[in-house]
Structure 1
Amino acid sequence: MKNKWVKIAVPIFATVLLMYAMVYIDVTLRARSAYLEAEKYSYWHGHPEAKKQALQEKLNVEIKKLDVKLAKKKISKEDYDRETEVAKFNHGRELEESSIKYAYVWYQTVIELFSPPESKWVKLSRQKLPAAKTLWRKELESKGIKVEDYMLE
C-alpha cells in the first residue's frame, strides 16, 4: 500500500515541480525582455541620434520588404504606396514620442507583470523606475505641461 502511494506521489510531485520551474523561467525571461526594452528607450533618451538611426533602419527594412512584395507582384502599386505612407507616418510618430516615457512604462511593466518572482530584472527595474519618472516629469515640465503625481502612474 505504501509503495503504491509513493509510485503515484513522486511523478505528481515531479510534474508540479517541473511546471513551477517552467513558469519561473518563462516569467524571468519575459522580465528580462521587458527590462531590455526599457533600457533601449532609456538609452535613446540620452542619445537621440541613436534613436533616429534605429528608427530609420527599421523604416528602411519595412520599405525593402514592401519593395520585394511589389517586385513579386504580391501587392499592387496602390497598396505599396499606401503601406509606404503608413510606414513613414509611423516612423515620424515614433520619432516624436518620448523615449523616457516608454522607458518608465517598460520598467513599470517589469515590476507589475513579472513579479513574483523577484528576479534580477525586477530588482533592476525597481532601482531605475524613480529616476525614469523624474526625467519624464522634467521633460513634461520643460514643455510647459503641469504635472501631478497621479498623471504619471
Structure 2
Amino acid sequence: MADTVSAEQRSRNMSRIRSKNTKPELKVRQLLHRAGYRFRLHGAARGGALPGKPDLVFAGRRKVIFVNGCFWHTHSCPAGTHAPATNPEFWAAKRARTVARDAAALQALRTAGWEALVVWECELRNTSALEYELIAFLGPPGKPVSAPDEA
C-alpha cells in the first residue's frame, strides 16, 4: 500500500515526533512521583550523562528506567511487530539500528554498575501491573538505604 501523504508532509510529521517528554514517559513519571519517588531526567547523573540517556535516573539507587515506544524500539507486541509498507528496507534498517543501540546502552550501564528497566508503551494500558513492576524494581520509595562504610 502506498503512502497516503506526500513526502513533504511525511517529513513534517516525522520531525514532530519527540524523544523526550513523550506521553508514555510523562505517564510513568506521574505514576512514580505520585508513589513518592524522586528522580532525574534524561540521563542526568552526577558525573555526567549515562549511556543511552535513560528517561528516568535514580542515582542513589543506581537504577534507570527507559520508556520505549513499541514501534520505534521493535517490541514483540502487535504495534512493535508492525512493519511499514512504504520504504520497508529503510524502516527495517532504522529499527535494527535502534535495537542494537539499545542493547549497547544497556550493556554499558550494567558494566558501569547500574540496573536498568525498560517500560514498553503497551504496558501503560495496565497501570496497576506497571506500578507493581516499578516498585518491585526500585524498592520502597523514599531515600535509599545504603550499606554502612566498612572501616
The answer, yes or no, to whether TM exceeds 0.5 is no
Task: Give TM-score, length-normalised by structure 2.
Answer: 0.30
Q: Comparing both chains, which one has the higher relative contact order based on Cα–Cα distances under 8 Å and sequence gaps of 6 or more?
A: 1
User: Higher strand share goes to which structure?
Assistant: 2
User: Higher helix share goes to which structure?
Assistant: 1
Task: Give TM-score, length-normalised by structure 1.
Answer: 0.30
Q: Which has the larger radius of gyration?
A: 1
